[in-house]
Chain A
Amino acid sequence: MIKQGFLFFFSFFAVLAISELFIQTSNLADVSSTEFYDDIGRGRRRDLDYLYFNEGFGMGRFNQFRYIGEPNPPLKGENTVRIALLGDSYVESFQIFQRNYFGEVAEDQLESEFPDKKFEFLNFGRSGFDIGDIYAYQKNFVEKFNPDYIIYMVANADLIPKYSDPLRPKTILRNDSLVISFDFNKNEVKMFKMTKFLTQYSSILNMIHNGRKKTKSTPLFAILLDKVYFWFNSTKNKPNLSKNEVDNFGLNPITKKILSSLDSTKVLIFNRDTTELPQFFKHECLENNIKYFDLSEALIKMKKGGYDPNKWEVTNKIGHWNHAAHRLIGKELARSLNPLVIKENTK
């Protein structure tokens, strides 16, 4: 009996180990791609290849400097125009290969227009970032890379700091001054540090972790029964997810303060969505001399032309920008930056 028990556990864990090896080498499921750093809180791990499936299929690498793409060091080369792209998952763009990324498209476009210059677009996008996170990331991390331009790509939902991740620095107001607070919840940090070894090195444990997270956002029976559950529950009222999150924007003092403290010679703000940003926000940008660009028109035009920029045909999902949208955004970005580069050259 004891022998059989031992053999059971031995074979069980041996198969798990082989499965783990298979899962990691086939990239069937990822290990956790985040790490906790003192300077930026929860960030991307250094030197980690990733492979992502959801709406699309993305492959790439978090470089030694903790962002996606070619590892451009903080010190910029001569005759180089460096542009830092900041925003949420749309900017991070896990859904495509790096070579199809809108930053790469813009880089190619600008290099063809200005052959004597080198352009570097650095992808500092992070899933779930809002304007407060972007600002904190810029101040703590991005500015170390000496960018000539810093591009905020935001949508309506990003305009109010939500502090959704307890392990990210918070942009707060203290005595009418913007402060980036590193006052992390100690229990959360402790929990992360305790569990990170498991989720960073074991895909199986990370899958369990993801499954646990899924049960928080989706009812267990919906996961287990899938379509059957939704057939039976189709008549029930669904929560209204399209609640306008910017209703109270005008009252948000942090966003206002962020806009007033940005360096208008460097920072450019792009609306990355098909819905226009509120007049109040645009007005605030104007007041602070921040250059504002709107991609909504180009995206809507594309959609009206019969090609939905957010539609993924293979997985039949609506989500982030698809390949064609990346090409469009890249070209629009290059078109917007072109006059600025010319102006800089003239100087």
Chain B
Amino acid sequence: MFLTNDSKKRKYLLWASLIANLGILGFFKYFNFFIDSFQVLSSKIGWNLDFLHLNILLPVGISFYTFQTLSYTIDIYKRKLEPTNNLIEFALFVSFFPQLVAGPIERAKDLLPQLKVKLSPTIDQIKQGVTLVIFGLFKKVMIGDTAGRFVDNIFGNLEEYKSFELIAALVLFSIQIYADFSGYSSIARGTSKLLGVELMKNFEQPYLSRNITEFWRRWHISLSSWLKDYLYISLGGNRSGRIRTYLNLMITMLLGGLWHGASWNFVIWGGLHGLYLACHKLMIGNNKVEENSNFRLTDFFKILSTYLLVLFTWLFFRSTSWDSTLLFLSKLIYWEKSEYSLMFMIVISSYVLMTLIFDLFEYRTGRHTYLLRLESRGLKIGILSALLFVTLIYLFQAEPAPFIYFQF
């Protein structure tokens, strides 16, 4: 594809690569989803297609490395990247262990050149790596996993809980998924730095976004930028008129939702985000979305309203079925008072504050390794040691929980 100038041939080769990559992903991840959905329809006319359902074991991280290899092919097609002739380098690019199972989804043009040279981390990289690993571990274990215990129990038995408790579970899920995934990303980045490899940032304090467009610039950045570069822009982006722009946003986000898993819940989650983005685009017109770190009082309401919009979408993301989603919503309408409201309020506040502490430092300094800005070595080591100590103590007497994004 890189060597030939025949545009037809290049296009055929690109399609062959896309079909092969997406075919494997589609088989493993979406085959049963479409068969089951088709089955629901076919059962109405008396067809039994049970035999078509396969017991497929989903390879860990398939969505992540499929997108990574797709970007490699598309970049070569667009002549943004020279292909590598070294199979081992390519294999290492696809299966680079720190980010293999849950990203960040790296671009070949960024990662491949780093893997070509001898890996030799600098002292700064080692310091940053250790800091990121400890921060990530603390966020994942102490915030994400522990918030997840409330979430799993409440979402697993919705009928047993009262209205406010369900809201608490949803808020805690928003914290769990953020702490879990951003914690993982930090560990991945930190581990890579220890090897001398730089990975992209995947999160930039998304819950401090003032609008939904900003949110998507700060949440799962490697996926959102991938979708923008390879899907949204390929569909025409905002170059073909307003209606087409809204449609492109919807398609991009619907597919972004489907990327997470073969379930209508994820499609609705993506669809809602597409709708939000289209509405925001409609509201701001041709104006650019401003991003400045100066905080004004009105920003608080913007941040809160953006968070609430995002929070609503998490309901669809976390629910395991339509029935549970409807039960959740009905319990919000037919309000049942909880005797544990105060306890839940304290729990939520505690998690929100802890998450905010990390985010506000990052937000103000623009760095995930803000701790290293401190001059005193004693302070730095003291803080990191204490965070690691508490995390290990907790881990030692608790039960381990897997990363949420491993399932994707």
Chain A residues engaging chain B, CB cutoff 8 angstroms: 3-16, 19, 22-23, 25-29, 49, 51, 53, 56-57, 59, 96-97, 99-100, 204, 207-208, 210-211, 214, 223, 226, 313-315, 323
**B396 near A57: Cβ-Cβ < 8 Å:** no
Q: Give, as a whole number of angstroms, the nearest-CB distance from A230 to chain B.
A: 13
Are B153 and A57 interface neighbours, CB within 8 A? yes
Residue of A nearest to B396 (CB): A211
In whole angstroms, what is the CA distance A226 to B354 when docked?
Answer: 29
Contact of A204 among B350, B380, B390 (CB under 8 A): B390
Known contacts A7-B376, A7-B382, A57-B149; A214/B390 CB under 8 A = no
| Residues in chain B near residue A5, CB distance under 8 A | 378
Nearest B residue (CB) for A55? B153
Interchain CA distance A49-B344 in the complex, whole Å: 12
For B329-368 the 0/1 string (1 means CB < 8 A from A) is 0000000000110010011011101100000000000000
Task: Give the secondary structure class of B's interface.
Answer: helix
B381 within 8 A of A: yes
Check B287 for interface membership: any CB of A closer than 8 A: no
Which residues in B have their C-beta under 8 angstroms from that of A13? 386
Chain A nearest CB from B140 CB (Å) reads: 13
Asked if B149 and A313 sit within 8 Å, CB to CB, the answer is no
Inter-chain contact B382/A11, CB cutoff 8 Å = yes
Q: How far is the CB of A15 from chain B (nearest CB, A)?
A: 4
Chain A residues with Cβ below 8 Å from B339 are 99
| Cα separation A323 to B378 with both chains bound (whole Å) | 51
**Residues in chain A near residue B146, CB distance under 8 A:** 26, 28
CB-CB nearest 7 A-B residue pairs: A11-B382, A7-B378, A15-B386, A4-B378, A57-B153, A314-B156, A25-B350
* A194 to B405 alpha-carbon distance, docked (Å): 45
Cβ 8 A contact of B351, one of A19, A26, A56, A315: A26
Bound form: Cα–Cα A323–B161 in Å: 11
> Do the beta carbons of A25 and B346 come within 8 Å of each other?
yes
**Cβ contacts under 8 Å, B383 to chain A:** 11-12, 15
**Which residues of A have CB within 8 Å of B150?**
57
Q: How far is the CA of A99 from the CA of B160 in the complex (A)?
A: 9
Residues on A with beta carbons closer than 8 Å to the beta carbon of B389: 12, 16
Complex CA–CA separation, A23 to B386 (angstroms):
14
Given A4-B378, A19-B386, A57-B153, decide whether A26 and B350 contact each other with a Cβ distance below 8 A.
Answer: yes
Cross-chain contact of A59 among B152, B340, B351, B377 (Cβ < 8 A)? B340
Q: Say yes or no: A7-B379 contact (C-beta < 8 A), given A57-B154, A207-B394, A210-B397.
A: yes
Contact status A314-B400, CB under 8 Å: no
- Name the residue on A nearest B398 (C-beta): A29
Q: A314–B152 contact, CB under 8 A?
A: yes
Q: B157 contacts which chain A residues (CB < 8 A)?
A: 314, 323
Given A56-B153, A323-B160: A16 and B397 interface contact (C-beta under 8 Å): no
Among B379, B382, B394, B396, point to the contact of A223 (Cβ < 8 A): B396
In the bound assembly, the distance between CA atoms of A221 and B142 in angstroms comes to 22
**Do residues B397 and A11 form an inter-chain contact, with CB atoms below 8 A?**
no
Known: A57-B154, A97-B340, A223-B396. A19 touches B390 (CB 8 A): yes
Tell me if B396 and A214 are in contact (CB < 8 A). yes
Question: Would you mind naming 15 contact pairs between A and B with Cβ atoms under 8 Å apart?
Answer: A5-B378, A6-B378, A7-B382, A8-B385, A11-B379, A11-B382, A12-B383, A13-B386, A15-B382, A16-B389, A25-B349, A29-B394, A29-B397, A51-B347, A211-B396
Whether B18 sits at the interface, judged by CB under 8 Å, is: no
Q: Which residue of A lies closest to B150 (CB)?
A: A57
Q: Is the CB of A11 within 8 A of B378?
A: yes
Contact at A27–B347, with CB atoms within 8 Å?
yes
Q: Is the CB of A10 within 8 A of B382?
A: yes
Q: Does the CB pair B160–A53 fall under 8 Å? A: no
- Identify 13 new A-B residue pairs, CB closer than 8 A, beyond the known A22-B353, A28-B394: A5-B378, A8-B382, A14-B386, A15-B383, A15-B387, A16-B389, A19-B386, A49-B343, A53-B149, A57-B149, A59-B343, A96-B160, A204-B390
Assess whether A4 is in contact with B351, with CB atoms less than 8 Å apart.
no
Nearest Cβ in chain A — how far from B357, in angstroms? 8
Which A residue sits closest to B146, measured CB to CB? A28
Contact mask for chain B residues 62-89; partner A; CB cutoff 8 A; 1 contact, 0 none: 0000000000000000000000000000
B400: A residues at CB distance < 8 A: 226
* Interface membership of B393, Cβ < 8 A: yes
How far does the alpha carbon of A49 sit from the alpha carbon of B339 in the complex, in Å? Answer: 13
Q: Known interface pairs A28-B142, A208-B393, A313-B156. Does A3 touch B349 (Cβ–Cβ under 8 Å)?
A: no
Q: A211 near B393 (CB under 8 angstroms)?
A: yes
Bound Cα distance A226, B378 (Å):
34
With A10-B382, A53-B153 known as contacts, the answer to whether A207 contacts B349 (CB < 8 A) is: no
Q: List, in ascending order, chain B residues with CB within 8 A of A313's CB.
A: 156
CB distance from A89 to the nearest CB of B (A): 18
Judge whether A25 and B156 touch: CB under 8 Å.
Answer: no
Cβ contacts under 8 Å, B153 to chain A: 53, 56-57, 314-315
Chain A nearest CB, measured from B374 CB (Å): 9
B160: chain A residues within 8 A (beta carbon): 96-97, 100, 323
How many angstroms from the CA of A16 to the CA of B339 in the assembled complex? 32
Complex contact A26–B347 (CB within 8 A): yes
Q: Which residues of chain A are near B347, meaning CB under 8 Å?
A: 25-27, 51
